[in-house]
């Protein structure tokens, strides 16, 4: 089997599994489960946004939650002012994208080194957290929307079908919408990465200097990648604000930013399915561990098992040390090597490979 047909098979598999999941889950699962799954899937869109810019663009952004939060807030504020969701959704995409473009312009065209890029994105996120956090008073409002400071914005009106403000999307509808969004994002990014643009950004990740010397402007390509990542994160934020009808500044917090990075590390950089698997897996695990907490016994072991951050932390460290490439690339390697071994036993005595 050639690489190309393996690739197509993978795409087909993702499509079939995704669609089956989308249509079967609401029929087979309780509403509670469907609700939980919805937020996992929304976060997976967010994970994909970092999967693109870090895994393929090589830009380690500690501030993906900034764009996520901006998207959520933009949707909430616009919704209170407009009442119909078409424009708010667009704003929730455009605003974070514009913000990413502006930030990216200064970082990439200013030739900021990778380490400082991390510091800057993290700082911007924390600034947003602190600024929004301190807008609790009634004097902080944008049009009809009160910002609410650390209390957040409750009761955000839900999405409606475009143009008809009364055709509100219900909870099950949110599940369909989120899953469809994730699938569209996944396939959209696959297309993007298969295009000339996608191959060039991977080239820049591999060797920026060489890409420049054959005539590509790395600054422009990185800026475009970063902006697309910002738009995606903003869109995820919009879905998230809908899911709980609530948004608060913790969305900009350090914990949120760190989580996104952990999802991508665990799932695997340089793949798209990895961040999705990492994101959904970790969220599911945190929820399962969190559920242990109240019933936890008094002996040491049950205390340890009830401590979700401790266990998640250990998992992360184990991953970084033992599976540094992440789950999906490592599994793929194992499968491929089994496949190859199967073939090699058929044709012994290969020429030794050349290398110095």
**Residues at the site binding another protein, with contacts judged by CB under 8 A:** 3, 196, 199-200, 202-203, 205-207, 209-218, 337, 351-356
**CA 259 to CA 236: how far, in whole Å?**
15
In whole angstroms, the minimum distance from the beta carbon of 12 to another protein comes to 23
**CA 48 to CA 143: how far, in whole Å?**
33
Q: Is 30 helix (H, G, I), strand (E, B) or coil?
A: coil
- The encoded tokens of residue 108 equal 């990439």
Give whichever of 264 and 280 is closer to another protein, judged by the CB atom.
264
- The encoded tokens of residue 288 equal 């399962």
In whole angstroms, the minimum distance from the beta carbon of 120 to another protein comes to 22
- Residue 142 has φ and ψ, to the nearest 5°, of -120, 110
Integer-rounded Cα radius of gyration of the chain:
22
In whole angstroms, the minimum distance from the beta carbon of 209 to another protein comes to 6
Give whichever of 146 and 205 is closer to another protein, judged by the CB atom.
205
**CA 156 to CA 145: how far, in whole Å?**
10
Q: Are 204 and 34 in contact (CB under 8 A)?
A: no
In whole angstroms, the minimum distance from the beta carbon of 56 to another protein comes to 11
In whole angstroms, the minimum distance from the beta carbon of 78 to another protein comes to 39
Q: Are 82 and 145 in contact (CB under 8 A)?
A: no
Give whichever of 35 and 200 is closer to another protein, judged by the CB atom.
200
In whole angstroms, the minimum distance from the beta carbon of 292 to another protein comes to 41
Closest CA to 237 of 251, 257, 255: 251
Give whichever of 32 and 351 is closer to another protein, judged by the CB atom.
351
CA distances 145 to 70, 75, 252, 349, Å, are: 15, 11, 19, 73
In whole angstroms, the minimum distance from the beta carbon of 339 to another protein comes to 13
Give whichever of 52 and 159 is closer to another protein, judged by the CB atom.
52
Give whichever of 87 and 224 is closer to another protein, judged by the CB atom.
224
Q: Please, is 178 exposed, middle or buried when counting C-beta atoms within 10 Å of its C-beta (0-12, 13-18, 19+)?
A: buried
Q: Is 67 helix (H, G, I), strand (E, B) or coil?
A: helix
DSSP letters for 167-233: SB--HHHHHHHHHHHHHHHHHHHHHHHHSHHHHHHHHHHH-HHHHHHTT--HHHHHHHHHHHHHHHH
In whole angstroms, the minimum distance from the beta carbon of 324 to another protein comes to 15
Give whichever of 196 and 298 is closer to another protein, judged by the CB atom.
196
Give whichever of 138 and 352 is closer to another protein, judged by the CB atom.
352
């Amino acid at each position: 089997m050639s690489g190309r047909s393996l690739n197509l098979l993978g795409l087909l598999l993702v499509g079939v599994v995704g669609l089956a999941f989308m249509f079967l889950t609401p029929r087979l699962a309780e509403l509670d489960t469907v609700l939980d799954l919805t937020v996992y899937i929304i976060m997976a869109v967010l994970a994909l946004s970092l999967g693109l810019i870090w895994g393929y663009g090589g830009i380690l952004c500690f501030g993906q939650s900034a764009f996520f939060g901006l998207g959520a807030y933009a949707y909430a504020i616009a919704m209170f002012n407009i009442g119909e969701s078409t424009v708010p959704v667009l704003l929730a995409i455009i605003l974070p994208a514009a913000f990413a473009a502006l930030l990216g312009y200064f970082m990439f065209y200013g030739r900021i080194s990778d380490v400082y890029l991390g510091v800057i994105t993290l700082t911007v996120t924390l600034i947003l957290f602190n600024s929004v956090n301190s807008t609790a008073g009634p004097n902080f409002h944008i049009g009809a929307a009160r910002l609410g400071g650390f209390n957040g914005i409750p009761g955000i009106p839900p999405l409606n079908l475009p143009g008809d403000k009364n055709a509100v999307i219900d909870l099950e509808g949110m599940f369909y919408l989120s899953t469809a969004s994730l699938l569209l994002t996944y396939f959209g990014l696959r297309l993007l990465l298969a295009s000339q643009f996608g191959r060039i950004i991977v080239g820049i990740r591999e060797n920026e200097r060489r890409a420049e010397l054959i005539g590509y402007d790395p600054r422009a390509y990185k800026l475009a990648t970063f902006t697309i990542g910002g738009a995606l994160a903003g869109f995820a934020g919009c879905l998230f604000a809908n899911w709980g009808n609530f948004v608060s500044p913790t969305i900009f917090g350090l914990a949120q930013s760190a989580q996104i990075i952990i999802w991508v590390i665990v799932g695997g950089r340089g793949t798209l399915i990895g961040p999705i698997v990492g994101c959904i897996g970790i969220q599911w695990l945190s929820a399962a561990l969190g559920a242990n907490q109240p019933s936890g016994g008094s002996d040491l072991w049950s205390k340890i098992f009830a401590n979700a951050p401790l266990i998640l932390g250990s998992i992360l460290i184990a991953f970084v040390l033992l599976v540094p490439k992440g789950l999906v690339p490592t599994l793929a390697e194992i499968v491929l090597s089994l496949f190859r071994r199967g073939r090699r036993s058929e044709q012994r005595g290969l020429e030794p490979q050349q290398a110095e």
